[in-house]
Structure 1
Amino acid sequence: MKGLNIILAILLVFAFGISCEDFTSYQPKGVVSEADLQGPESVEGLVNAAYAGMANDHWVAPFTNNWPWGSVRSDNSYKGGAGPADQSGYHNYEIFSTIRPDQSKADGVWFNIYRMIQRANEAMNAVKGIDEGSYPNKTERLAEMHFIRAHGHFLLKRMFKRVPYIHEDIPSDSLKFVSNVEYTSQELWDKIAEDFQFAVDNLPQTQEDVGRPNKPVAQAYLAKLRLYQAYEKDEQHQVTNINQDRLQEVVDLTNEVINSGQYSLFDDIAQNFLWEWENGEEILFSIQRSKDDGTPIGRIDMANALNWTMNPEFGCCWFHLPSFNLVNSFRTNADGIPMFDSFNDEVMVDSADFHENTFDPRLDHTVHVPKHIFKYQSDVIYDSSYTRAPQVYGPFSTMKEIQQLDCPCLAVPKGYAYPTSTKNNTIIRYADVLLWKAEALIQLGRQDEALPIINDIRERANNSRDRLRYENGDYVSNYNIEPYVDGVNINWTQENAMKALQWERRLEFAMEGVRFFDLVRWGIAAETLNNYFDVEKERVPILQTAQFTEGRDEYLPIPQQQIDFSEGTYEQNTGW
């Protein structure tokens, strides 16, 4: 990459086809003059371009599904592929010890997210310049652009910690001189929160168009931000305080979303990962995908394009693979709750292991296990032919982002010989909202209020078995999951409740790109990952040199390419 920089975003607004289903079908082409941007149709095109920018990622630098950043860097998954040399940059990130500030993949994420932010800023300026009489949606569209800008800055801050905050009033020739340390970490959270708050204050309660955020969605995202912000950290990234006022904001905001009555859990967790329900009642906000929409390859999910299995129907490339540690974490004891301390004492790998032991049903919604059914298809059995390098990474494959063999959502991008899909990328689902509230309540010392919330999630998991059967009706694994009952199968102290919450988040959102960020938020990344490496490297030798350095590896280094572009304005993160 040659000095990738955020200014290019302005020039590239019209370089990409625009389509995000329904309202984003507008496709601007070519070069436009200032006069061209003054009519309602052209302004709406800029708004749509900002939405399209949310989906403009790729496996070389994904951010709609954070599988390299939130899963591969955690104890949930390995990079996968043919071995460490295949997309080797991601292997550097999974073992931490060989990360360098000049690696291109993090630089690509930085660039592409700032390009999305700049599209939102350009659209914001265009919307501001048009009369509300000719553009009745003016205030609403401004709120949507504030939401998109906040989404981009949130992603960046979660990955890099100290990043420049780019707003619409910064002249293009000054962009590269905006400091990434102008604000303290807490102040930067507040700047991003201002954008979400603007969205909360100005978005409608509901939206007619699929894919646009509404008020409850903005409230949910603001709650997510405040939860991250509540864990106050020092310059060495260590948690020094858990802010009770921020936690209460999380409770209040999630209550607003819950009380809106607009969202609920799906009856079966599988519905979150199947194309047919991609905009259903559990999905608050997702990146809308499409194909055959007039753009060069469609608004298809290139972010996950490496992660499909090797069977003839797909053919490539077997990345993002569940770890032995993750598979073991689904084990349950005789009381139907997680084996918190002993889950990893034995390796679950042989077919008999999954019948001689008991498991949380979410195992088979997350992991393709040998001799189990493939993606809820009782007549298709997953076996070694679906794998690529099992001698390196073991026998398991990812499941959630993969679609069924006959899904109408499958797409083969032009110029490629393997599929991806038009399944939307979920950003927030209702289970998130419930568990954010539960986490805040526990940290406030109100763990008794969190207990029924966590049990609601577990009850849904228990009820999500119907798709997990062979053709003869037998379950593919031996399931045993029960609610937590204080004094019966757990002592529901604040400490134990927090452990249960952390476990619940791991199982519920495994392989959805969030695990690493949860560990960093809680301040337990170093302990968790180094304990993981100590055991896992004996099972997967490519992890022999893996080591998490506390006080450094919680965040990626500021890309050296961006420091050079800023002429030294940007300051490097601690430890790099």
Structure 2
Amino acid sequence: MKFSYKFLAVCCATLALTSCKDVLDKTDLSSTSGDLIFKDSTLSQMNLDYIYDQNLPTGIATLGPSTPSVTSLTDESFGESKLLEGTLLVNEVSDFGTALSATNNYGKIRVINMFLSDVKNGSLPQATKNKLRGQAQFFRAWRYFDLVRLYGGVPLVLTPLAAVGVEARDAAFLPRNTTAESFAQIVKDLDSTIASVPGKWASSADWGRITKGAAAALKGRVLMTAASPQFNPSDDQTKWQAAYDANKQAYDLLTANGYGLHASFDQLWFQEVNNPEAVFLTGYNTSTGDQTKKNNGYDNATRPSYNGTGGGSNQPSWEMVKAFPMLDGKKPTESTKYAYTDQLFYKNRDPRFDKTIAYNGVTWPLNGNTANKVWTYFAGGKTVEAKASNTGFYARKAINPTAAIGDVQYSGTDWIEIRFAEVLLNLAESAVGVNKLDEAYTQLKAVRKRAGLEAGTDGLYGLKANMSRTELFDAILYERQIEFAFEGKRFWDLRRWKLIEKTLNGTRRTGVTINLKTTGVPADFATTRDNVSLDLAYTNYFTLVFKQLDTKYAINWKPEYYFFAIPQTAIDNNPKLIQNTTWGGAFDPLK
């Protein structure tokens, strides 16, 4: 990422002093007025960059401080949670914000609203104002979407509220807007962004700034959520049409500006400027300096532990491992060309399998070692790893293979929140919603072709011919599960389709312990294993033992979790807030 939101706002302000002497000469920075700041384009831009820094997604999301990453709330991975245990309390999804804080959703919205107001009232040229405001409106839409998909309709605060006095306090007691009104405001902000920002920024120094296509893609995601069963249980076709129109607009804007699928499914994470797949992203750098450092923590947290680095998080479950298709695009239980067995689970799989899942014996270039092999087996009851994988597997997506051990903690790999592949699959899903089934096939085939699946004699890349609307919806959700594994999308997909109970309830996720046999194994296996055929090793030397990861409870997601409770502490602070009907209140989140 190239532009200045990589740096902390304080650092930005300090660095800018030398170039803004005409504005800041002999000025007390602690009390600088908005009138002074927002007649200078450099200072206005620094304020906008602070909004970027505060609002860009930092990786796989959580649902507040008491919940794990959303990857752990699905069949992708494993993590204990009150949501899956079925014991969630009313205050425990606290993204709503229950205190005065600059870091909760409404605290961030306040900063955005102040920026929008000050830019509007400033003396910059109108075209500059529009461009600045358009980017800020994107992030206000982003914040409100985060709230609405959790709770349903929320109070829409679109201007800075006064902060002091009894009257100001009373004016801040706002009721919840309806869910429909909330979605409409999100769309309105994104439409303003689309009208105000470029389709592609001219300078590489602006790589990562919000574009027309990014705003349209988020609009497509928002309206597809609004059309999904969570918000649209009656399958209202007007909602699917709105979603289709938005995703078609995103596709058209992005392709017109040079966006498209990256040639490589795994290497797409490591190209920054002019990466055709990166629609909406968070930029990171490799700096070790305290004032300029903005490193990506996902890489170090996810890779296996080696010499004190790597946390081994986001470990794939056996359910995720088995989910991948075979090389012909058919599910393991459906392929007639490639036989599947649990013992040789890695053979003839979708090419995305090896690029997403690291398993015992796989060659995985890591820490600068291009010949590195990962071994996760147990010998004599003891792991051969410094720290054993709990599931037997690791996620390898977006892990930089060339980073040296000492540099891993300073990873600069950008996090891509919206990829062009998502735009294609969003368009496919919304096309199915309006019965444009052939168009859905087109987008699905494009994603599968890039993945490297065999086209087959029918050119369908393993897709069933002549699928019904219901079958195509299922096929797209399945494709999303594979394509976006460990990108934080699976939880939201299952939730908006209200499929968490069907997918998880009553089950316990599974891991694998791979044991080295006690007989028939060469005495020097530990030193020669890198040169042994993997098929031979798995057939003759290893046994697979399956274990339950959810040991404390069977999963028990409850229907009321499709709209979380407004925290009671927020209601205590604002008597005009009404609780959701599913949590004992009178507010209907479907209206």
TM-score range normalised by the length of the shorter chain: 0.7 to 0.9
User: Compared with structure 1, are the counterparts of its residues 164 and 533 closer, same or farther at alpha carbon in structure 2 (3 Å cutoff)?
Assistant: farther
1:96 CA drift (Å): 4.0
Pairing of 1:461-540 with structure 2 (within 5 A): 461-462=451-452, 485=460, 489-530=464-505, 532-533=507-508, 539-540=547-548
CA contact (8 A) 2:508 2:549 kept: no
Question: Match for 1:45: what amino acid?
Answer: M
2:350 is matched with 360
1:258 CA drift (Å): 4.7
SS of residue paired to 2:418: strand
Task: Single out whichever of 518-527 and 220-229 deviates more from structure 2.
Answer: 518-527
1:126 matched to 2:115:
no
1:249 is matched with 245
Report % sequence identity: 19
User: Compared with structure 1, are the counterparts of its residues 387 and 166 closer, same or farther at alpha carbon in structure 2 (3 Å cutoff)?
Assistant: farther
CA distance, structure 1, for counterparts of residue 91 and residue 72 of structure 2: 19
1:95 CA drift (Å): 2.4
Which ranges of structure 2 fall in alignment gaps of 5 or more residues? 15-28, 377-383, 513-545, 585-591
1:197 CA drift (Å): 0.8
**Could you report, residue by residue, the CA deviation over 1:501-559 in whole angstroms, capped at 9, with x for unpaired residues?**
11111110011001111112223222122265487898324355143434212244334
CA contact (8 A) 2:91 2:567 kept: yes
Pairing of 1:11-410 with structure 2 (within 5 A): 19-21=4-6, 27-28=12-13, 31-34=30-33, 37-40=37-40, 41-55=42-56, 68-79=68-79, 91-93=80-82, 95-103=84-92, 111-133=103-125, 137-172=128-163, 174=168, 182-208=176-202, 209-231=206-228, 233=230, 238=233, 241-242=236-237, 243-274=239-270, 276-277=271-272, 280-292=275-287, 295-296=290-291, 298-302=293-297, 306-312=301-307, 314=309, 316-332=310-326, 335-339=328-332, 352-355=344-347, 358-374=348-364, 378-384=370-376, 388-390=387-389, 393-406=390-403, 410=407
Task: Single out whichever of 155-164 and 182-191 deviates more from structure 2.
Answer: 155-164
TM-score, structure 1 normalization: 0.76
CA contact (8 A) 1:180 1:571 kept: no
**Could you report, residue by residue, the CA deviation over 1:81-125 in whole angstroms, capped at 9, with x for unpaired residues?**
xxxxxxxxxx22562423333348757899444343333222212
Task: Single out whichever of 367-376 and 532-541 deviates more from structure 2.
Answer: 532-541
If you compute each CA radius of gyration, which structure gives the higher value, 1 or 2?
A: 2
SS of residue paired to 2:371: strand
CA contact (8 A) 1:328 1:347 kept: no
Task: Single out whichever of 440-449 and 23-32 deviates more from structure 2.
Answer: 23-32
SS of residue paired to 2:213: helix
SS of residue paired to 2:281: strand
User: Compared with structure 1, are the counterparts of its residues 531 and 499 closer, same or farther at alpha carbon in structure 2 (3 Å cutoff)?
Assistant: farther
SS of residue paired to 1:395: coil
1:310 CA drift (Å): 1.1
CA contact (8 A) 2:153 2:181 kept: no
Which ranges of structure 1 fall in alignment gaps of 5 or more residues? 1-17, 80-90, 412-418, 464-479
CA contact (8 A) 1:327 1:348 kept: no
SS of residue paired to 1:27: helix
1:131 CA drift (Å): 0.8
1:472 is matched with none
1:293 CA drift (Å): 8.2
User: Compared with structure 1, are the counterparts of its residues 330 and 307 closer, same or farther at alpha carbon in structure 2 (3 Å cutoff)?
Assistant: same
Question: Match for 2:43: what amino acid?
Answer: S
1:176 CA drift (Å): 9.1
CA distance, structure 2, for counterparts of residue 515 and residue 449 of structure 1: 23
CA distance, structure 2, for counterparts of residue 108 and residue 328 of structure 1: 39
User: Compared with structure 1, are the counterparts of its residues 46 and 216 closer, same or farther at alpha carbon in structure 2 (3 Å cutoff)?
Assistant: same
1:437 is matched with 427
SS of residue paired to 1:353: coil
User: Compared with structure 1, are the counterparts of its residues 186 and 78 closer, same or farther at alpha carbon in structure 2 (3 Å cutoff)?
Assistant: same
1:473 is matched with none
User: Compared with structure 1, are the counterparts of its residues 27 and 566 closer, same or farther at alpha carbon in structure 2 (3 Å cutoff)?
Assistant: farther
CA distance, structure 2, for counterparts of residue 400 and residue 492 of structure 1: 31
The Cα RMSD (Å) is 3.9
SS of residue paired to 1:427: strand
CA distance, structure 1, for counterparts of residue 392 and residue 565 of structure 2: 33
CA distance, structure 2, for counterparts of residue 375 and residue 115 of structure 1: 43
TM-score, structure 2 normalization: 0.75
CA distance, structure 1, for counterparts of residue 561 and residue 410 of structure 2: 31
CA distance, structure 2, for counterparts of residue 255 and residue 231 of structure 1: 20
**Could you report, residue by residue, the CA deviation over 1:278-323 in whole angstroms, capped at 9, with x for unpaired residues?**
7511111201222538654722224665334212162x42222111
Question: Match for 1:102: what amino acid?
Answer: N
1:574 is matched with 582
User: Compared with structure 1, are the counterparts of its residues 379 and 307 closer, same or farther at alpha carbon in structure 2 (3 Å cutoff)?
Assistant: same
1:3 is matched with none
1:261 CA drift (Å): 4.2
Question: Match for 1:78: what amino acid?
Answer: F
1:39 CA drift (Å): 4.1
1:364 CA drift (Å): 1.5
